[in-house]
Structure 1
Amino acid sequence: ARPHGQSPQREICGGDKVGHGQYSSCPFITCRNRPTVNVTEPLQFENQAGLNPKSFAWQPHYYEFERELILRSVFGRARLNEFALARHLDVGRTVAHDLLMHAREVGIVSKDERSRWWVVPLDEARFRDLYELRILLEPVALQAAIGRIPAEELDEIESRLKAAVSDFPQVPTADLDTLESDLHIDCISYSQNPEIVEALKRTRCILVAGKHIQAALKRDIAVDPFMEEHLEIVSAVRAHDGASAKSALVNHLALSAQKAADRLAAFRATQSMPELPYIQ
């Protein structure tokens, strides 16, 4: 059993561990056997066992770098200069490259055929498309996970949800992140279909974006009280009622998509495009 406020580490298909090293929510997963991690830390896509700590010199810089990129991405595509990033952070090119590689795994940046880095735009259309993908795939993955999620893990998830309902709205952001990860990352990771879970990796950037956009708005928009919706889904999973679990999750994701669109609109209306020294 893991303590309140912590979530398990995720793994990808190749067996590499995935978690929140120093900072996810935008977590990518598929497999199990996961040690405890902190949901307020960045995802790690490399197996850390036996590696020199120097290999992870990018981690202390990642949270702020990710936040800057997300808040810039909502204003459209932009060229990113790796050398300028290294100079801005006062780090070597290797560290800057590792940061970019990690951000690419999350879907925040991309690299073109000429090896140039670009910020991937995160506009209304992409939010809509990624939520549509989640609505198509996530309920199927959850249904395939029913019966495979340990009862004690469901107990812990339900306990955290009920505590959050009792404490709401005085629920720390890190705890809200944990609740999101419990259902949308950890439960889904038990799915018998690793191809679906792998495909869902493409959608995790909207979980990351939601966190940073809400923080930037300083909760001017009320925090989404999604706990009751999660409890309904978890109850159906407990009862091995796949049809009800799928239906409840589809409804939950549809509501979340609209709330995400509202937050994005509010952010665009109140914030200006940030000037970053490594963006051209």
Structure 2
Amino acid sequence: MKRRIRAPVPLPPSLPLSLAEAAIDADTRLRYRLIHDHLKKAIALGRVSPGLVLVEGPVAQIFGTSRVPVRKAFEMLHAGGLLHTFEGRGYLVAHPDGSVAEPLRAPLSEVTLGLDEAPVALALPSNSERIYHALEAAVSIGIAFGHFRIDESVAAEAFGVSRSTVREALNRLRDLGLIEKSAYSHWLAGPLTARAVAQDYELRMLLEPAALRASQPLLAHDVLTHAYAEIEGAIRDPDSIDADGLQRLETTLHVDCLQYAHNKKLLRTIGHAHMPLTVNHAFHNAFNLHPDVATLTEHRAILRHLLDNDVDAATAALGGHLRAAQERTLKRLKVLAVLPEPDLPKYMQRIA
């Protein structure tokens, strides 16, 4: 079992992984996330028979990839309560209520995996998508240590892509509020201040409860049931939830549960205030941390109220969760402030 790091246990004196190395893993990370999302959707919608035995080799062939990302996707689905281990090889697909089903051994194909069509080598995204996660990781950590200019040319050379590809990825980071473009067309990142974090949370505390209230009548009960079961599994074993797993839980609550609000300007404004979510993901990823139980129980309370059709209690609980999350994020910012600056990629150039 992984060791959990909690305050006041001191954190490492420097980041354990060079952010430049993130680009090496970008393709693998995209693959296991895509496999996970394909299977999660199919299982949640009841397209996969409970008890179906999933093994790495055949699934890897279906998705046109190696076994490594399939293994990671299986581990994530297991952590979310969608798959169970058993005495045989592989994993069993869980019942909709999360219980263990009898093993069902059948040939694995696009049909038995509940896929609408063959994934065709995962339909991997553009080069900008492939480098996006590396850029996001570098910027999310870097802004906690100062003010930086991102050099498109140097980034293009580092990733072996065109400047337009880098620009496309940087535009996505700008949409998240992580970076901005100056009057001279320079990409600027940071510095991340306590004031900026507080302002983002203040905006979210005002707008997210309103978006949840507007979205609640259209939230499918089976989707909420699945989200609740996933949170329950995380609470039972928080050490099984890594940074990516926590980000998925956050996305379920703060994006998926709000997406049915009719006011799209409202949703875009909320999306522009999600910088703390991205920074928290980078923080957990850099130090291999797992979510604290308080965060998970707050999520569970909101989902429970939604399942009970008590929108007043759900929005009140969401507001309380955001206030507590703000306090936790500001504490993490203080921790980062006392650490030595990490080795950032050359395309991130400090501004004096």
**TM-score if structure 2 supplies the norm length?**
0.61
Q: 1:200 aligns with which of 242, 251, 270?
A: 270
Matched ranges for 1:16-31 at <5 A? 22=30
The answer to whether the 8 A contact 1:74-1:122 is kept is yes
Q: What is aligned with 1:121?
A: 191
In 1: Cα distance, 2:196 partner to 2:225 partner: 35
In 2: Cα distance, 1:269 partner to 1:173 partner: 22
Q: Deviations over 1:97-124 (max 9, x none)?
A: 2222222122222112222211143221
Alignment pair present for 1:244 and 2:309: no
Alignment pair present for 1:176 and 2:211: no
In 2: Cα distance, 1:172 partner to 1:216 partner: 11
Q: Alpha-carbon deviation of 1:79?
A: 1.9
Q: Alpha-carbon deviation of 1:207?
A: 0.8
Q: 1:64 aligns with which of 134, 138, 150?
A: 134
Q: Alpha-carbon deviation of 1:147?
A: 1.5
Q: Alpha-carbon deviation of 1:270?
A: 2.2
- 1:218–1:270 CA distance, 2 compared to 1 (3 A): farther
Describe the SS at the equivalent of 1:110: strand
Q: What is aligned with 1:261?
A: 330
Describe the SS at the equivalent of 2:226: helix
Amino acid in structure 2 at the alignment position of 1:224: D
In 2: Cα distance, 1:209 partner to 1:234 partner: 24
Q: What is aligned with 2:57?
A: none
Amino acid in structure 2 at the alignment position of 1:264: L
In 1: Cα distance, 2:167 partner to 2:213 partner: 38
In 2: Cα distance, 1:189 partner to 1:178 partner: 15
Percent identical: 24
- Give the root-mean-square deviation of aligned CA atoms: 2.5
In 1: Cα distance, 2:249 partner to 2:242 partner: 11
Q: Deviations over 1:210-231 (max 9, x none)?
A: 0101222333xx7322222112
In 2: Cα distance, 1:174 partner to 1:275 partner: 21
Matched ranges for 1:2-21 at <5 A? none
Amino acid in structure 2 at the alignment position of 1:189: Q
In 2: Cα distance, 1:172 partner to 1:214 partner: 8
The answer to whether the 8 A contact 1:58-1:98 is kept is yes
Matched ranges for 1:1-280 at <5 A? 22=30, 56-219=126-289, 223-225=291-293, 226-280=295-349
In 2: Cα distance, 1:111 partner to 1:239 partner: 45
Q: Alpha-carbon deviation of 1:55?
A: 7.6
Unaligned runs of 5+ in 1: 1-20, 26-34, 41-52
- 1:174–1:70 CA distance, 2 compared to 1 (3 A): closer
Structure showing greater radius of gyration is 2
Describe the SS at the equivalent of 1:223: coil
Describe the SS at the equivalent of 2:145: coil
In 2: Cα distance, 1:55 partner to 1:64 partner: 15
Q: Deviations over 1:46-87 (max 9, x none)?
A: xxxxxxx89811222221221111111112322222112212
Q: What is the aligned length?
A: 234
- 1:69–1:236 CA distance, 2 compared to 1 (3 A): same
Q: Alpha-carbon deviation of 1:154?
A: 0.6
Q: What is aligned with 1:46?
A: none
The 4+ residue runs of structure 1 with deviation greater than 4 A are none
